[in-house]
Amino acid sequence: MNRYVYSYRILSTGETSRYGVPAATQDEADAGICEAIADIEFTEPEDVQDITLDRIIEESDNYYECEGCT
């Protein structure tokens, strides 16, 4: 599983940002990114524009540990 990082613009505010989603394939990430961004931005999917893939972070490049385990 990789993390796919996208940049996007919110049409109603003109604000731009980046958001990453974990997915097994890029097609899977592409299919759900608009809804995921709309959810995190508290807006409608139609308000999310100019979604572009910025980078792919491979799972092997990162090590995650929760606060309870450290």
- Range of the structural domain that residue 50 is part of: 2-61
Q: Are 49 and 12 in contact (CB under 8 A)?
A: no
Domain for residue 11, yes or no? Answer: yes
Residue 53 lies in a domain: yes
- The closest of 14, 13, 15, 33 to 23, measured between CA atoms, is 33
Identify whether 12 is part of a domain: yes
Among candidate residues 50, 55, 37, the one with its CA nearest the CA of residue 11: 50
Q: What is the pLDDT of residue 62?
A: 61
pLDDT digits (tens, 9 = 90+) for 22-68: 999 999 999 999 999 999 999 999 999 999 999 999 877 666 666 66
The model's confidence at residue 70, banded by pLDDT at 50, 70 and 90, is: low
Question: What's this model's pTM, rounded to 2 decimal places?
Answer: 0.81
Q: Classify residue 55: in a domain, yes or no.
A: yes
Q: What is the pLDDT of residue 43?
A: 96
Number of domains in the chain: 1
